[in-house]
Chain A
Amino acid sequence: MTATSVEALPAVTEVRRPSRRLAAPLWVTALLLILTFLVIYPLLMLVFGAVSDSNPVIDGFGKFNPSLTHFIAVLGNENVRLAFFNALMACGGGTILAVVIGLAFSWIVVRTNTPFKGFIAGASMIPLFVPPLVAGVAWSILGSPKTGLLNTALKWMGIDFRFDFYSMSGLILVFGFYYAPYVYMFTASALRNMDPSLEEASEVSGASAFTTIFTVTFPLIAPAILAGSLLSFVVMLGIYGVPAALGAPANISVLTTYIFKLTAWSPPLYNTAAAVAILLMFVTAILVWAQQRVLSGRSFATVAGKAFRPRSLNLGPWRWFTFSLALVYLFVVVVLPTIALVIAAFRRFLFFKDFDAVFDMKAYSWVHFNSIFDNPLTMMSIWNTMKVGFITAVIGGLLAFAIGYTINRTHVAGRKSIDLLSTIPVAIPGLVVGVAYLWAWIGLPGGLYGTIWILALAFVARFIPDTVKALSTSFMQIHKELEEAAWVCGRGLLGTIWTIMLPLARPGIVASMTLLFVLAVRELGSSLFLYTSDTTVMAVLLLDYYEGGNIGKTAAFSLVQTVILVVLLGFTTWLSRGAAEGAGRAG
C-alpha cells in the first residue's frame, strides 16, 4: 500500500465529488428499475390476479374486474385457517430445531478442536442439496408407521416402539433437520469472522466457557442467527415437497399444499391461489419488519482492521463427545436418508415382507438408472440445469452484491426502497410466482420466452432475497474503518470495492453464489410454467418421475442430482478456501 500525504486528500475529494453526485442517483435508479422489472411487475400481476377474476394476459388489463371474492373466500374458509395454523406450527417448530442444530454445529466446526471438522463441515451441508420432495420421500420410506424401514427394523429387533413421521412432529423434525444448514451457513461464517479477543476478554474477567458462549458469542452473531432463522422459517413456509410426502397421508394440510391443490385441480383456481399467496406474503412482511426492528440501531461489526486468527477452544476429552454428537446428526440427516434413497434407487420394488428382505440381493439392480439414462431428456435436463444454474449464480451474485453493498455500505437516498423491493420475493410461494412470471414476461418482445434465459431471470428474481441476505451478513461484519482507510489512501469507490470489499467478502460471495446455484437447480415452481421442450430442467423431470408414481426412478434421479451438487460443493469449498488463503496472504 502506498502512503498518502495529507496534502493530496482535498484534491482527490474535489475530483470525486461532482461525478459522485450524479452517479449515486443514477445508480439507485438503475437498481430500482431492475428490481421493478424483476419483482414489482410480476408482483402486480399477482395482486391483479388476487383481486380480480381475470387472467391479465388473456383478458387484458382493460377487462379488469375488481373483486374481493377470493380474499373473502380465503379468509372465511376454515380449511385455509387450519392450513395456516398447521404451517405456523410446522415451520415454527422446524425453525427452533434448525437454530439449535445449526448453531451447535457451527460452533463445533468453527470454534472447537473437535476432530475431523472439515469432513463434518462438508457433510453437514448435504441436506441443503436434497430437493424437499426427495427429503419427504426418503423420510416416508424410513418413517412410515406401516412400512417404514425404521419400524421394520424395530419389529425385527422385537422392540415395541414405532416411529410415525406422518404427523406434525414428523414434519417438524424433517424441517429442522433439513433447514439447519441455512442457520449453519449464516452463523458459521459469522463465527469465523468474529474477533476472538471479545471472548478472551470475557474469560479473563472470570466467565466460564459456557457463560461466554451465551453472553458474548451468540449475542455478537445475533444478526446471523436472526437472518438464518428468518430465512429458514420463510423458506419452510414455501416448501411443498416435505408436507406433500409426510403431511398428506395424515391429512395435515399446510398453505403450500393447499396452494398446490388450487393450481393443480381442474379447473385450476389461480386467482384464489394468488389470494392465499398474498396472505403468506403478509406474514413474511411482518417477520421481516420485526427482524429489522430488532437489528436496527445496533452495530454488529466484528471484523475490524486488526489481524486475528479464529480461536479454537480446547475441549479436552469432551471433544470426542462433540464429535459423536456430530456423528449422530450426520447419521440421522445424511446416512439414514441416503441409505433409504440408495435402497429405493437400486431395488426393483420397495416392498419388504420383513427386515430380512432388505438384504435379499436378488431384489437389487441398476434397472432404474438404466431407464433414466435411456431417457434422452435426462442428459438434456442435466445440461440445461447446469447452464441455468451458472447464469443464475453469476447474474444473481453480481446483482446481489450491488444491492447488498448499496443497502449496507452507503447512505444514498432510495436504499431503503431497494432493501424492501429485494426482500419481497421471499414471501411468494414458487408455484404462484411461476404464473406471475409467465403472465408478466410472456408478452415481452424478443425471443425471451422459450429460452433458458427466462428461467434464469425468474430464478434471479425469486432468490434475490436469499442471496442479498446471505451477503449482507458478510457486509455487516466488515468494519467501515477498512473502507475509510482505502479512501484515505486515495482509492475511489470502485477501487475500494475492488480492493477491500470483494476480497474480504469473497467467502460470503462464493457461498451466496453456491446457494443461488443450488436453489436454482432445485427450483420447481417457477420452472414448471417457463420451461419448453428444449429447456427442460432436472426439477421438472424429477416431478415427472414422482408424479408417475415411480419411486425407484425418483430416487435414482435424486441420487444423480445429489452427486452433481456435492461435486459442485467440493469445487466451491476449494475455491473459497483458496480465497481465504489469498486474503490471508494479502493481510
Chain B
Amino acid sequence: MKRRTVLAGIAGTAAASLAPPALAQQDTFGSKELIAAAEKEGGLTYYTANFAETEQEVIKEFNKRFPKIKVSMVRAPGGQLITRIKTEAAAGKLGADVVDHSDRGLMKELEDLFQDYAPPNAADYRPDALVSPKLWPGVTLGWAIAYNTSLVKNAPKTWMDLTKPEYKNKMIGQVVAPSGGTTWTRTMFERQVLGEDYWKKQAALGIAMYPSGAPLSDALVRGEVSIAPLLYNIIYTKIVDGAPAEAIFAPEGVPIIPYADGIPKTSKSPNAAKLFMNWRLSKEGQAFQIAKLGNITSLKEPPAFPKGWDPTVVKVWVPNFEQFEKLRAPWVEEWNKTYGYRQ
C-alpha cells in the first residue's frame, strides 16, 4: 500500500510538472488547425504489438486531453501483426491509422507503407533509437532484473550476479532468445557487454526457459522461478499492485527497445493519427508511460525516471542496428545450443 502511494505520488508530480500551460499546448501536440482537423475526423484505428491493457491506459490518458477522438485498437502478437499488416496493405485494405511495433527490423522493411512524419519535438530524440525518419519510438522498453521478495534472501544487484552458483537449479528463469526482437536485444547485450562466456556460465546453473516475458513474470510472482530478467513494464504494474516482487536496474547497463511507430500512407484519419503520435511522443506522453506503465524513454533528456533508476549510475544500452540485423541468426543459434533450447 505504502509503495503504491509513493509511486502514485511520483507519477502525480511528474505529470503535474510536465502539464504544459494552455497556450503552449497547441505547439506541444500540434497546431490549432491540426487539432481541429483531428477532432473533425473523430477517431483512428491503432494497430499495436504491445500489451492490450497497457495500450488501453495510454488511450485513456490521451482521451483526457483529447476526448473527442476515439481510438479503436487492434492488438496481435508481433509476428502475426506484421503478417496482417502486409496482407491488408497488399489487398488495399490496411485498416491502421497508426502502427506500433516492437521489431524495428521488420518495420524498416515496411518503410514504404508509411508517410513522412516527425513529431514537433523530433530533435529531442536519441538518433540511435531511430531506424527510419518515418518511424518513431512512441514506446521504449528496458530490461530489469526482477526477483520474488518472499523467496530470494540475497537479491542480485548486477547482471553478473546472475551467473552465481547460489542461484542454481532453475531459480533463474529466462525468455528464450528466438522469441523476438526484445529478447534478442537482451541476449546481444549479454554477449557484447557482459562477456563472450556469460551465456555459458549462466546456462551451467540450469535455467528455466519461457516462451515469452508475460508468462515468465507470472511465474516469478507465483514462485515458479525466483529471479528473472524481465522487461520492466511487465513486472512494474504487478509490483505497484502489491505482488511479492521487486525489480532493479543493473549498473552494467539497461538494454532498451525503442519501438518503431508510424502512420501508413493509406490512413483515413491522418490528422487524428498525427495528433495521437505527437501526444505519445511528447514529454507528457512519455512521462505518463514512465510513471504509470513502467516504460523507459528514448528522449535524450528523460522527463522522469523509473523507481530505483539512478541516472548517475545506470547507463542505457541501445543495440547497433546493423549488428542487430547481421548477428541475429548465428548468435541466436549459438544461444539455443548453449542453453539446450530445441528450436
Chain A residues in the interface with B (C-beta under 8 A) = 55, 57-58, 79, 82, 144, 146-147, 244, 248-249, 251, 253, 261, 263-268, 270, 348-353, 375, 377, 435, 438-439, 442-443, 449-450, 528-529, 531-534, 541, 544-551
Contacts and interface: CB of A to CB of B under 8 A. Distances in A.
B33 interface: no
Nearest to A438: B87
Interface stretch (B118-126, B238-246, B271-279): B238-246
Given A351-B243, A548-B214, A55 B90 contact: yes
21 contacts: A55-B90, A57-B87, A249-B210, A251-B340, A251-B342, A261-B211, A263-B83, A264-B79, A266-B82, A267-B105, A348-B241, A349-B221, A349-B244, A351-B221, A377-B52, A529-B76, A544-B75, A546-B215, A547-B214, A549-B216, A549-B238
Interface of B: 45, 51-54, 56, 72-80, 82-84, 86-91, 93, 95, 103, 105-106, 148, 150, 178-181, 208-219, 221-224, 234, 238, 241-244, 340-343
Contacts of B56: 375, 377
B218 A549 contact: yes
Given A253-B342, A265-B180, A267-B106, A548 B53 contact: yes
Contacts of A244: 211
Contacts of A265: 79, 178-180
Contact of B218 (A263, A528, A529, A551): A551
Nearest to B214: A549
Contacts of A532: 45, 74, 95
Given A546-B215, A547-B212, A551-B218, 13 more contacts: A58-B86, A58-B90, A147-B224, A253-B342, A263-B80, A268-B83, A349-B243, A450-B95, A532-B45, A533-B72, A541-B52, A544-B53, A549-B238
Residues of A contacting B: mostly: loop
B175 to A, nearest CB: 11
A415 B51 CA distance: 48
Contacts of A353: 150
Contact of B51 (A267, A352, A528, A547): A547
Given A57-B87, A58-B90, A534-B72, A79 B342 contact: yes
Nearest to A544: B52
B38 to A, nearest CB: 18
A351 B83 contact: no
Contacts of B181: 266
A266 B221 contact: no
Nearest to A269: B79
A251 B341 contact: yes
A366 to B, nearest CB: 14
A532 B340 CA distance: 39
A79 B84 contact: no
Contact of B208 (A249, A264, A550): A249
Contacts of B241: 348-349
Given A251-B341, A550-B53, A533 B74 contact: yes
Contacts of B224: 144, 146-147, 249
A464 B58 CA distance: 41
A263 B178 CA distance: 12
B83 A270 contact: yes
Contact of B222 (A251, A268, A350): A350
Contacts of B106: 266-267
A69 B234 CA distance: 38
A348 B244 CA distance: 11
A351 B244 contact: yes
Residue of B56, B79, B86 ringed by the most chain A CB atoms within 10 A: B79
A55 B109 CA distance: 15
Contact of A546 (B82, B210, B214): B214
Nearest first, the 5 A-B pairs at minimum CB distance are: A549-B214, A268-B79, A533-B72, A58-B90, A544-B52
A146 B179 CA distance: 25
Contact of B87 (A147, A263, A351, A439): A439
Residue of A82, A267, A375, A443 ringed by the most chain B CB atoms within 10 A: A267
Contacts of B77: 264, 547
A550 B342 contact: no
Contacts of B213: 549
A549 B105 contact: no
Given A79-B342, A147-B224, A533-B45, A528 B76 contact: yes
A79 B218 CA distance: 27
A548 B238 CA distance: 11
Contacts of A450: 93, 95
A246 to B, nearest CB: 12
B343 to A, nearest CB: 6
A264 B103 CA distance: 12
A548 B342 contact: no
Contacts of B215: 248, 546, 549
A62 to B, nearest CB: 13
A57 B179 CA distance: 26
Contacts of A443: 91
B51 A266 contact: no
Nearest to B88: A442
Contacts of B53: 375, 544-545, 548, 550
A442 B72 CA distance: 21
Contacts of A55: 83, 86-87, 90
A201 to B, nearest CB: 56
A544 B79 contact: no
A351 B91 contact: no
A389 B33 CA distance: 45
A529 B223 contact: no
Contact of B82 (A261, A268, A551): A268
A527 to B, nearest CB: 10
B84 A438 contact: yes
Contacts of B89: 58
